[in-house]
Amino acid sequence: MKNWIPILLLFLTLSSCKTRNAAKNNNGKTQDSTVVAEDNRNPKDANEPVRDKLTFYEHVVIPLKFDQVKINSKVNVETGSFIPTLDAVIYIENDKKVWMNLQALFFNVAKGIATPEGIKGQDKTSKTYIDSDFDYLNKLLNVNFIDYKSLEKILMGRTFVKISDSQFTLTQNAQGFKMVSNTNQKITTDEKTREYKIVLNYDTNYDLLSVNLKDVLSTDELEISYSNWDEYNGIRLPKNVKIIIKGSKSSQILLENTKFDFSRMETPYSVPSSYKKIEIK
């Protein structure tokens, strides 16, 4: 059912926020961890090797420490069919859940929740619901590796694919850092293996700018980009997110984050008995 395409895809893109732990400087004072190391500033040559790889990996790989974040967003989804601009409230609770409520023209149209166990969602316009694992989301995104933890990393703007010195080449230029896979990256899940060419770009302050995954054996391609990063309550977050899906299924989502809040909130979710369960194919 086409209405479920934006609902499930939004689990991937909504909020897309990145939190940063504060780092300590030599004087023991707290400073934002996105301060660039001295050795990495203003490289003279384009795409030169990175000298301080440890600092880079500390910023982009080490898990974040956060409790919860609430984001208000404006969402535009392009699937080939008309979908009005959606107002979204997204609540992310670390390691536990991603909850959302969607409105169109001030009317509630959908609600969903993702947990380590799977995804649940309901479409109020058609009075239907889903209750599934992450296989559906992987199919919609043309990939095969999304689980709850990788989903949460994507939502928090963190590196969600495995990177290493032996598998990737890390270079730096005036725009920031670039990681390119040396060989095709094989990802196996449930006895299914796919091979990807992966490119990641980061700003000079380690903010994630884009991730591109290209399936080398098909036309499937996934690209997520982030822009207009700023700091809110000591946490760096992007105001704009774009996700582009190409291949056997193509779509695009544009997200504008308009408000951030860090207080805990209630996340009710229940399905009316009159709703009908559907299967996504």
Instruction: Quickly list DSSP for 182-233.
Output: SSPEEEEETTEEEEEEEEEEEETT--EEEEEEEETTSS-EEEEEEEEEEEET
Question: How confident is the model over 28-70, as pLDDT tens digits?
Answer: 433 333 333 344 444 444 678 788 899 999 888 887 778 999 9
Domain chopping of the chain, boundaries = 4-20+42-264
Output the DSSP codes for 123-187. ETTTTEEEEE-THHHHHHHT-S---HHHHHHHHTT---S---TTTEEEEEETTEEEEEESSPEEE
pLDDT at 195 over 60: yes
pLDDT at 127: 94
In the chain, the percentage of residues whose pLDDT exceeds 90 is 43
Q: Which CATH number fits domain 4-20+42-264: 3.60.15.10, 2.50.20.10, 2.60.40.10, 3.30.750.24?
A: 2.50.20.10
Give which of 7, 63, 8, 59 is closest to 34, Cα–Cα: 59
Which residues sit opposite 237 in a β-bridge? 230
pLDDT at 110 over 60: yes
Q: What single letter denotes the amino acid at residue 108?
A: N
- CA separation for the pair 132, 115 (Å, rounded): 11
pLDDT at 168: 93
pLDDT at 17 over 50: no
Question: Considering the entire predicted model, what is its pTM?
Answer: 0.79
Q: State the pLDDT confidence band at 256, using cuts at 50, 70 and 90.
A: very high
**42-56, 67-81, 219-233, 263-277 — most confident range:** 263-277
